[in-house]
């Protein structure tokens, strides 16, 4: 089966397509609409957005206009990192539902364990309040799966200690040379699928000479190696592009498998 339509299975049985299409820094309006439309036409069936990206409405419109059945597209969105409060989490989810206008969300994530300006500070109480709201949203069927993003081991543990429904996903910065082994192992050991955001290092991995040397063995690009590498590690990559040629290339990764020696070469890189 092609990677684009192949799925991972979350702990609750929900199937999630193995490559997601990222939309961070894609401008609200026509740019998002066109990028998501191009991705859906090329066969992507998993779109990653967030309230904070201000493009949920354009993602929703592109999906509605695509002619695809709602159940054939997997949509992830996120609660803003600044919201650490039960009532505000529920209210913001309602806003997200109105923006997307798709009837339900497939995966809803807490965007980060701390507001962006307070990275690393302890917001455990707020995260637990958010998680109670997430459990309510999940139990009423408005999100088919719930999870977290940017959570370190201690942040995951705090949620697990109190959760009625355990998080199904942790979406983290994960790319060649930056694979967060402790977070990845802890998440996977506790049943969470790890999603790789910035799988191309927000573009910094493109043309990297060490990755290029591996890519040359297979006649592919550095982007294709970066995406294939994540899949071979059982992680779910979320590449982003507004360039139709790149959108096409980033899903064209079924014609090669990175061999064990090259995987070791990539494992040994330290990049940020």
Ligand X SMILES: NC(=O)c1ccc[n+]([C@@H]2O[C@H](COP(=O)([O-])OP(=O)(O)OC[C@H]3O[C@@H](n4cnc5c(N)ncnc54)[C@H](OP(=O)(O)O)[C@@H]3O)[C@@H](O)[C@H]2O)c1
- Per CB under 6 A, residues contacting ligand X are 22-25, 48, 111-112, 149-150, 171, 197-203, 206, 221, 223, 238-243, 246, 249-250
Residue numbers annotated as active site: 53
Give the Cα separation of 116 and 46 in Å (integer): 25
Annotated binding residues:
111
**Least distance between ligand X and beta carbon 85 (Å):** 20
Residues in the chain: 272
Which residue's CB atom is positioned nearest to ligand X?
A: 22
Annotated binding residues for substrate:
111
H or E stretch at 124: helix 124-139
Q: Which is nearer to ligand X, 140 or 209 (CB)?
A: 209
Q: Which is nearer to ligand X, 112 or 146 (CB)?
A: 112
CB 168 within 8 Å of CB 105: no
Q: How many CB atoms lie within 10 A of CB 27?
A: 15
Q: What share of the chain is helix, strand, coil (3-state, %, to 5)?
A: 45, 15, 40
**Least distance between ligand X and beta carbon 80 (Å):** 11
**CA neighbor of 151 nearest in space, from 187, 178, 179:** 187
Count helices and strands in the chain by DSSP H and E runs? 10, 10
**Least distance between ligand X and beta carbon 149 (Å):** 4
Q: Which is nearer to ligand X, 164 or 169 (CB)?
A: 169
**Least distance between ligand X and beta carbon 3 (Å):** 15
Give the Cα separation of 221 and 61 in Å (integer): 32
Q: How many CB atoms lie within 10 A of CB 41?
A: 13
Q: Which is nearer to ligand X, 150 or 184 (CB)?
A: 150
């Amino acid at each position: 089966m092609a990677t684009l339509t192949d799925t991972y299975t979350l702990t609750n049985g929900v199937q999630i397509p193995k490559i997601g299409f990222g939309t961070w820094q894609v401008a609200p309006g026509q740019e998002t609409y066109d990028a998501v439309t191009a991705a859906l036409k090329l066969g992507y069936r998993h779109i990653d957005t967030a309230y904070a990206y201000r493009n949920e409405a354009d993602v929703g419109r592109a999906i509605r206009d695509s002619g695809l059945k709602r159940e054939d597209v997997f949509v992830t969105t996120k609660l803003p990192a600044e919201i650490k409060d039960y009532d505000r989490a529920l209210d913001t989810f309602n806003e997200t539902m109105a923006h997307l206008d798709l009837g339900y969300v497939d995966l809803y994530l807490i965007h980060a364990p701390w507001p962006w300006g307070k990275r690393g500070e302890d917001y455990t109480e707020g995260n637990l309040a958010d998680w109670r709201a997430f459990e309510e949203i999940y139990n009423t069927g408005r999100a088919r799966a719930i999870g977290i993003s940017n959570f370190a081991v201690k942040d995951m543990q705090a949620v697990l200690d109190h959760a009625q429904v355990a998080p199904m996903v942790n979406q983290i910065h994960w790319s060649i040379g930056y694979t967060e082994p402790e977070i990845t192992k802890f998440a996977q050991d506790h049943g969470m699928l790890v999603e790789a955001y910035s799988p191309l290092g927000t573009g910094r991995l493109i043309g990297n000479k060490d990755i290029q040397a591996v890519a040359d063995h297979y006649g592919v690009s550095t982007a294709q190696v970066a995406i294939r590498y994540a899949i071979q590690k059982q992680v779910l990559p979320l590449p982003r592009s507004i360039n139709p040629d790149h959108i096409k290339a980033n899903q064209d990764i079924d014609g090669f498998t990175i061999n064990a020696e090259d995987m070791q070469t990539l494992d040994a890189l330290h990049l940020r």
